[in-house]
Structure formats: structure tokens, C-alpha cells
Structure 1
């Protein structure tokens, strides 16, 4: 019984940290997938705004520093980050940034849209087609 309990605890700890690493990967991609120098030039941001963006981008330079803040709610990084970017850029320039780099979507939704990509789901059951007399139509049912 003790071995089973220990195994369950280890599995739970491993799967939580594994899931959290996906969030951290999204966080890092939100920084590395964008050419911040080009944004600063395109949006005509001030030197102060540029510095603040670079400080924001360097805030959590490794998983441990990020995890200390987001360990209990790893999804929160998105709102925190984009609220801070909007504060730095100002509403108008932030909307231009969002339109160009996130196709007008909320960046939070942009990163959530790929959450289930790559996951394989087993769709059980066969499709069974039933002919309904008098209607001349086929229906299918998933078993």
C-alpha cells in the first residue's frame, strides 16, 4: 500500500511539473517568437518603453524563477504579461501590436488555441448507417 501511495504521489508531482513546463514553453515563445526590435521601431516606442519591454522579457529568465511565481496558477502568466505590455505600450499601440502579431486575437486565446494540438484522441465506435423506410435518407450513429 505504501509503495502504491508513493508511486501515485511521484506520478502526480511529475505530471504537474510536466504540464507546467508547457505553460513555461508558451511563456518563452511569447518572447522569442517575436522580433521586439522590429516592434519597437514599427510602433515608434520611446527608449523608456523599449527598456521596460526588455525588462519585462527578462523578468523570468529560467523555469525556476517563473515557476516560483506561477506554481499554483501557471495559466495566469498570460494575463499578467499582456496587461503589462498594454501598460507599457499604451492602449492604441498595444491594439496595433495585437492586430499585427496575434491577428487581432487576445494573446491569451492565441496561446490557448494550440493546447490540444498534438494530442491523440481515440474515437471509439463505428459509424453505423441506418436506412429509414419511407424517407429515403441514411442516418449515421456513433456507437
Structure 2
């Protein structure tokens, strides 16, 4: 019994830390998926704005530094990052940035959608529906 409990405890801890690292991976992609030099040229940003963007992109150089800030609110990075980007770029250039790099969508929502498309649990819903139908059939006969 004790062994089963420990396994459940370890699995719970693992799945929690796995989810946390998913958020971090989204954060890393938000930095690495975009060619920031192109953004700076496209939007005709000042040297100051360029430096602020590079500083923002370098803010969390590794998982630990990111996790210290977002351990209790792993999806908080999105609002923080994109409100900071909007502050650096200004409203008008931020809208141009969104249109070009996120097809006009709010980047916060784009990364939030990734979180909701988690494939790990999709098969469970399918199994539970099948199971429910089987149970219903048994009760009707």
C-alpha cells in the first residue's frame, strides 16, 4: 500500500513539474520563434527600443530564473511579457507587430491556446464516452 501511495505521489509531482516546464517552453518559444532583428528593422525601432527588447528577451536566461518568478503563476509570463513589449513598442507599433507575427491575434491568447491543446488528456475523454455508452446499454436491457 505504501509503495502505491509513493508512486502516486511521485507521478503527481512529475506531472505538475512537467506542466510547469511546458509553460517555460512556451516562454522560450515566444523569444526564439521570432527574428527580433527583423522586428526592429520592420518597425523602425530606436536603439533604445531595440536594447529594451533584447533585455526583455534575456530577462530569464534559464528555467530556474524564470521559475523563481512564475512558480505560483506559470501562465503569468504571457501577460507580463506582452504588456512589457507593448510598453516598449508603443500601442501603434505593437499592433503592427501583432498583425505581422501573430496574424493580428493577441500573443497571450496564442500561447494560452497551446496550453489548452494538451494532447495528453484527449484520449481519456474519448475512453470515458465509450465507457458511458456501454453502461447505458447495460441498464436498458
Give the TM-score of the pair, scaled to structure 2.
0.82
2:77 is matched with 77
Q: Which structure is higher in strand share?
A: 1
Q: What's the RMSD between the two structures over aligned residues?
A: 2.2
Looking at structure 2, the residues matched to 32 and 26 of structure 1 have their Cα atoms a distance apart, in angstroms, of: 10
| Deviations 1:16-61 (CA, angstroms, capped at 9, x unpaired) | 1110111000000001000000000000100000000000000001
Partner of 2:98: 98
1:89 corresponds to which residue?
A: 89
Q: State the match for 2:37 in structure 1.
A: 37
Q: Which has the higher contact order (CA 8 A, sep 6+)?
A: 2
| Poorly superposed stretches of 4+, deviation over 6 Å | none
Equivalent residue for 1:125?
130
Partner of 2:100, secondary structure, is: helix
SS in 2 for 1:30: helix
Q: What is the 5 A alignment of 1:11-22? A: 11-22=11-22
Q: 1:3 to 1:118 in 2, by over 3 A?
A: closer
Deviation at 1:13, TM superposition (A): 1.8
Give the paired residue count. 129
Give the structure with the larger helix fraction: 2
Runs of 5+ consecutive residues of structure 1 not aligned to the other structure: 127-142
- What is the alpha-carbon distance in structure 2 between the residues aligned to residue 80 and residue 110 of structure 1? 15
Structure 2 match to 1:24: 24
Structure 1 position 4, deviation (Å)? 4.0
Between the aligned partners of 1:59 and 1:97, the Cα distance in structure 2 is 20
Give the C-alpha shift of residue 111 in structure 1.
1.3
| Partner secondary structure for residue 59 of structure 2 | coil
**1:32-71 alignment, distance < 5 Å:** 32-71=32-71
